[in-house]
Amino acid sequence: MIWTASSLRERSQRGSWQRRQRTASLRAAATQGGAGMWQEVLPNAWESILSRIRSFEYSQKNAVLVPAAALGVGGMLVCWLMSRRKIKTLEMGDGWWGSGEKPLKEKEDERIRPFQIETSDKEIQDLHHRLDQARYTPPLEGAAFHYGFNSNYLQKVVAYWRNQFDWRKQVEILNKYPHFQTTIEGINIHFIHVKPSYIPHGQTVYPLLMVHGWPGSFYEFYKIIPLLTEPDKHSLSEGDVVFEVICPSIPGYGFSEAPHQKGFDTIAAARIFHKLMSRLGFKEYYIQGGDWGAQITTNMAQMLPQSVKGLHLNVVFINEWGLGRMISVMLGAYVPWLVGLTREDVRRVYPFLQKNIYDLLRESGYLHIQATKPDTAGCGLNDSPVGLAAYILEKFSTWTDKSFLHKDDGGLESKYSLDELLTNVMIYWVTSSIVSSMRFYKENFSKDPDLTAAWRVNIYVPTGIAAFPQEIAHTPRIWAKKNFKNIVTYSYMPRGGHFAAFEEPRLLAQDIRHFVRKVEQL
DSSP state of 356: I
Q: Which of 441, 490, 511, 514 is catalytic?
A: 441
**Nearest-CA neighbor of 489 among 469, 511, 468?**
511
Angstrom distances, CA of residue 148 to CA of 379, 406, 428: 19, 11, 20
The string over 277-309, giving b where at least 16 C-beta atoms fall within 10 Å of a residue's C-beta and e elsewhere, is beebeeeebbbbbbbbbbbbbbbbbbbbbebbb
Q: Is 406 part of the annotated catalytic residue set?
A: no
* Crossing angle for the helix pair 167-174 and 418-431, to the nearest 10 degrees: 90
Stated length of the chain: 522
Cβ partners under 8 Å of residue 356, min gap 6 = 349, 473
CB 394 within 8 Å of CB 407: no
CB 165 within 8 Å of CB 418: yes
| SS3 (DSSP) at 238 | coil
Radius of gyration of the chain (CA): 39
Detail the DSSP E strand segments found in 61-199: 113-115, 179-184, 187-194
Q: Report the distance separating Cα 473 and Cα 497, nearest Å.
A: 10
Q: Is 441 part of the annotated catalytic residue set?
A: yes
End-to-end CA distance of the chain: 90
Q: Which of 153, 219, 291, 474 is catalytic?
A: 291
Q: Which of 312, 474, 498, 514 is catalytic?
A: 498
Q: Is 291 part of the annotated catalytic residue set?
A: yes
Q: Report the distance separating Cα 442 and Cα 448, nearest Å.
A: 10
Residues acting as catalytic residues = 291, 441, 498
